[in-house]
Structure 1
Amino acid sequence: MVELKAAGTVQDLLTLLTLPVSQSWIAVVIDGKIRDKRTLLKEGDEVLVMPLGGGG
């Protein structure tokens, strides 16, 4: 579980997580819907952070 300050955004969350991939290669799903990095998070949101990938 990650705690954010009040009115935190998806971008704030991604900054806290320090993921090993570029943020341009990440999709964020909140409560089952794809959202952008400006989306405000609220208490109880279920957030899924997924790396986007491709085959070659």
Structure 2
Amino acid sequence: MTKIFQTATLTWSRFLISLVPILIGMYVGTNAMPGDWLGLLVGGTLGLIIQFGAPVFLTLPG
């Protein structure tokens, strides 16, 4: 039972950590651009690019 709980906690914490770039991007987007929805969309897209792009760039052979 504790093994399942540890795995679930680890997965949940990874999920929350993966949301951080998107949230930061949305926050910066709403402050930088006029229009709430446009800023959220652009910021969230940038956050997704950072979230999925950074591991790809880090694992590329140099």
For normalisation by structure 1, the TM-score amounts to 0.27
Higher RCO structure (Cα 8 Å, ≥6 apart): 1
Give the structure with higher Rg (CA): 2
Decide which structure has greater helix share: 2
